[in-house]
Structure 1
Amino acid sequence: MIAPFAPLQSSDSPPTDDTLLTNFTANSPDLGWYVVNDNVMGGRSEGDFRKEEGQLHFTGRTNTNGGGFSSIRTKALQLDLSDYTGVRVTVRGDGRRYTWRLATDARWRGREISYWADFDTKADALSTVEIPFSRFVPRFRGTQLDGPALDAGNITGMGLMIYDDQDGPFDLSLANVAAYSEKPPFMLSNYQWKKRVLVLSAPASTDKQLREQQEVVALSREDFSNRDMALVTLLDNSVSTAGNRKLTADEVTTARVASGIVQGSFALRLIGKDGSVKLASDTPTSMAEIYSLIDSMPMRQLEKFDRR
């Protein structure tokens, strides 16, 4: 886990995995949660929290004869989430609507503002809710503002609130909070000018010709890597992959169309860094033949010269 006390640094490429910001197990850092109810403005709502069984339980009763809200918040944080799409929370709810709250250094007329995004819950059901940063709206004491927009690279605090214009008890359990990223759809063109791609297509992972080709690839991993190659496996009835990434059915179809492959039988394609098909075969091919073809390419010869 990346500790939320240290800044999450940006990188040149989006993260491939989500980042856990906090959970409530024994080894999770304490984010200093505290209660803020509407009694700060003369309201009558009640709310509190407790940690048990690896979850944070937020309970109480709202009263709309006053502010009508109850909330819990973290102490000051320093999070750079600019490489991420939003926040994902895992909760067990009660059917009421809750609000996730983010704070930054932003001000309105010199006063602190916060950013809110509502989410619905199902009664006594565990659910995972993704809240994109684009949904967070700036507010000052509940009043929506025109701006500024949320700066995800400068998160200084988080919070959970109930403010749904209803009276009565509430009960929500929070299991964890993570920052998530949405991967763009996979396309073979993602490799262009970066990698040479060996595409293997077959009806299933048990296909005899596929296994034969995979075995010879595995025996020459170093040569494969030295030629800046990537392996994409497209299967009709099994999990398809591009490296370690699992592909969706739509991504498989797109990759087959791009490489001129029809499903139903074994096929091999070697795609150059320029994006064009250099070799097309319907039978397994020796890696010596593939490497010889690559080594004859002008771009490969320039690479070998530059790497001396």
Structure 2
Amino acid sequence: MKPILPFVIAGLLAAPLAAQDSADTASIPAPDSIVIEGNDVDLKQFKWEKRPLVVFADSPSDPQFIRQMELLTNELPALIERDVVILTDTDPEAQSALRKQLRPRGFMLALVVKDGTIYLRKPVPWDVREISRTIDKLPMREQEIEERRGLPD
């Protein structure tokens, strides 16, 4: 009976810490909640709902792709606040609908606004601060901010 007692005490002491850790991580969105593999995605499904941020590369090992995804996943709350969904496509051989529509050459970052317009294309990684500033200047985003504040038109 004595050998079990330390394990029981350790389990009782660890339970509150585990509960606190799960409560802390519950407020942080999982990266896969807004990051979607873009091979079978149609941009039309996001129209008027989300702002697709499409990240293309010729391989998931592309250093620019890896850097871009690090920048994005480190700042997910700012992107979620702006209704961004991240679509990735690292397989040029698959010739996805996204590739046919946006025609990337190697690494490319593209921002599509809620009305379906391709607003921005970048051949290098961009950090979330730059992306957020660009989105915040959009008329629809300004309207969203005003509505959240409760200001009249």
1:193 paired residue number: 48
SS class of match (2:79): helix
Residue-by-residue CA offset, 1:268-288 (whole Å, 9 max, x unaligned): 100000111111011111221
Per the TM alignment, residue 237 of structure 1 is displaced from its structure 2 partner at its CA by 6.5
Structure-2 separation of matches of 1:237 and 1:297: 31
Alignment CA distance shift 1:187-1:256 (3 Å): same
What is the aligned counterpart of 1:254 among 89, 97, 118?
97
CA contact (8 A) 1:196 1:229 kept: yes
1:19-168 equivalent positions in 2, closer than 5 A: none
Aligned residues: 110
1:71 paired residue number: none
Structure-1 separation of matches of 2:70 and 2:111: 17
1:244 paired residue number: none
Structure-1 separation of matches of 2:92 and 2:107: 13
Per the TM alignment, residue 257 of structure 1 is displaced from its structure 2 partner at its CA by 2.0
Structure-2 separation of matches of 1:297 and 1:237: 31
Gaps of 5+ in 1: 1-184, 239-248
Per the TM alignment, residue 232 of structure 1 is displaced from its structure 2 partner at its CA by 0.4
CA contact (8 A) 1:209 1:266 kept: yes
Structure-1 separation of matches of 2:84 and 2:137: 15
CA contact (8 A) 1:188 1:258 kept: no
Structure-2 separation of matches of 1:231 and 1:303: 20
**TM-score (norm. length: structure 2):** 0.67
Residue-by-residue CA offset, 1:133-179 (whole Å, 9 max, x unaligned): xxxxxxxxxxxxxxxxxxxxxxxxxxxxxxxxxxxxxxxxxxxxxxx
Structure-2 separation of matches of 1:255 and 1:203: 13
CA contact (8 A) 2:78 2:128 kept: no
Q: C-alpha root-mean-square deviation of aligned residues, in Å?
A: 1.7
Structure-2 separation of matches of 1:237 and 1:273: 25
CA contact (8 A) 2:56 2:107 kept: yes
What is the aligned counterpart of 1:207 among 31, 38, 62?
62
CA contact (8 A) 1:199 1:232 kept: yes
**TM-score (norm. length: structure 1):** 0.34
Please state which structure has a larger fraction of its residues in strand.
1
Gaps of 5+ in 2: 1-39
Please state which structure has a larger fraction of its residues in helix.
2
1:282 paired residue number: 123
Larger RCO of the pair (alpha carbons < 8 Å, separation 6+): 2
